[in-house]
Amino acid sequence: MSGADIRAVLYAMVDVAVDSLAEGTIVRLGDLGSLRTSISSEGKATHDEVNASAIKGASIIFTPGTRIKETLSAIKYEKV
């Protein structure tokens, strides 16, 4: 597989991920992990007070797959 093939796959993956995240769907990337959207908002006393203006921000959360998480726990640190 060439570098151009890999770039093409990554560009296509971004297009699919953008569409899926915009629909509120979790994007599963196999062993790599997953992407999902998250929002923060003002607290409201009743559900009638909740509307789109209460949303203060949105972000994308990446959750690494099992093998990547295991790598983090196996890393040894030393002062250089």
Q: What is the pLDDT along the chain (80 residues), one digit of tens a residue?
A: 899 999 999 999 999 999 999 999 999 999 999 999 999 988 888 988 888 888 899 999 999 999 999 998 889 999 98
Q: How far apart are CA 11 and CA 14, in angstroms?
A: 5
Q: What dotted CATH number matches 3-74?
A: 4.10.520.10
Kindly list the strands in the beta sheet with 27-28, ordered across the sheet, starting from the edge strand earlier in the chain. Answer: 27-28, 33-41, 55-64
Residues 6+ apart with CB under 8 A from 13: 29
| pTM exceeds 0.75 for this model | no
Distances (CA, A) of 24 to 18, 43, 49, 76: 10, 21, 22, 37
The pLDDT score that the predictor gives to residue 59 is: 95
Domain ranges of the chain: 3-74
